[in-house]
Structure 1
Amino acid sequence: MKTPIFAAVFAEQWDALPPALKAHYANRGFTRDRVTVTGTLTIRMGPLLRFLSPLLRLSRMLTPWPGDDVPCTVAFHSEPDSNAFIFERRFSFPGRAPHVFRSKLVPQAPHHVIEYMASGLGWRCGYSFEDGRVRLFHKGYVWRLFGVDLPVTFLGELLAGKGFAFEEASGDMSFSMAMGLKGGPFGRLTAYSYSGDFTVTEMALDA
């Protein structure tokens, strides 16, 4: 029987995850599993990122606008030919067409994942479940080019700072989360964060 992709990522911590977070990470590799969560997010962006909004919209990286209580649906997909865990986020900003931000998480080792954006930029992060929270720790950036990961940590941290995130169960099938970028010489100019609450609304797992 196949086990969830993230069971190997969380390793010895997997069994300690509460039901809501196990449902969030239920997708198994090499299947067509799909888990959907819905909720709202409060999004904050520094002035430079707001200025670069058209570029963010075209690149489908992050979100191009800030907002309060923005409706968001996230579908977690598996692929029948890989062990990747895919995030497909759909943000519904009032008065605008939905914005879709897609990324692919590829396990590297226990507690180590790379999240690849559509542009090829990858965020290396550590995953750990501590004190009731899933915590993501910054481990650097890579640029995937012709199937090779090229380290670009210095440039990435110079432009965007370091990434961070956490997730915490708030009910049997609900959780709160936050993510952001902080640090770097441009500080508040490139600051970015979003936080909110989600409920698992669909679990379509292959038989």
Structure 2
Amino acid sequence: MFISVFQEKWKDLPKILQKRYSNRAYSDDIVTVDGKLDVYCSWLIRLLKPFLKIFNVLVPYQGKNIPVSVSFVSKSDSEILYFNRTFSFPDKKPYRFYSRMVRLKGDDVIEFMRFNIGWRMRCFYDGKKVVLQHRGYVWKFFGLLIPLPINLLIGKGYAEEEAISDNEFRMYFEIRHRLFGKVYGYGGNFTIKEQEI
């Protein structure tokens, strides 16, 4: 899938990022990465915790050096890429967060969560890191993409991933509100645990 997203920039991606983004559409590819993240939740996100759990859109806890495993899964009958995340907070049951990513055209992609709520973004390689740049939130309803003004409530998303070595990459994600600043975020390092291509 991501070869068509990055297009001519694919060959410029560092080796570790090529592995991380190696899932192909219409395949049985699986890439699993393990790492540890520092997770931050502001008062606003903690206030919205019940809704976050219902919609399964963000991890509603915070902590340092939280073990996280993410499996990127392709299916032979689809071009969709599935994200299966497991956050292992101490003294809590593992928190599982599922989403799926689809490419619209070019570098325009949407990550859908439960109830077809999606984060639309531009995905590109800037020569140093992969950047996921906010393009809004949407609701997919009978094939239509309806814009949602969620950014007025929680803010705009941003993410990046950068190679550290041939075996490790750094990732960072945040949601920043124009009035309240950073309201949510996590960041840390990952290694490839398994790659079935």
TM-score range, shorter chain: over 0.9
Deviation, 1:146, is 2.3
Counterparts of residues 20-31 of structure 1 (less than 5 Å): 20-31=16-27
Question: 1:77-118: per-residue Cα shift (whole Å, max 9, x none)?
Answer: 002221111111100000111111111110111211111111
Given that 2:55 and 2:113 are in contact with CA atoms closer than 8 Å, whether structure 1 keeps it comes out as no
Matched letter for residue 191 of structure 1:
V
- The reply on whether 1:174 has 2:161 as its aligned counterpart is no
Deviation, 1:34, is 0.5
Equivalent residue, structure 2, for 1:68: 64
Deviation, 1:12, is 1.4
- After TM superposition, where is structure 1 displaced by more than 3 Å over at least 4 residues in a row? none
Matched letter for residue 157 of structure 1:
N
Matches of 2:89 and 2:54, distance apart in 1? 16
Consecutive unaligned residues of structure 2, counting only runs of 5 or more, are: none
- The reply on whether 1:199 has 2:195 as its aligned counterpart is no
Structure 2 length as normaliser, TM-score?
0.95
- The reply on whether 1:120 has 2:116 as its aligned counterpart is yes
RMSD: 1.3
Structure 1 length as normaliser, TM-score?
0.91
Matched residue SS, 1:11: helix
Matches of 2:118 and 2:54, distance apart in 1? 18
Matched residue SS, 1:191: strand
Q: % of aligned pairs identical?
A: 39
Matches of 1:141 and 1:181, distance apart in 2? 12
Counterparts of residues 111-190 of structure 1 (less than 5 Å): 111-152=107-148, 155-185=149-179, 187-188=180-181
Matches of 1:8 and 1:117, distance apart in 2? 22
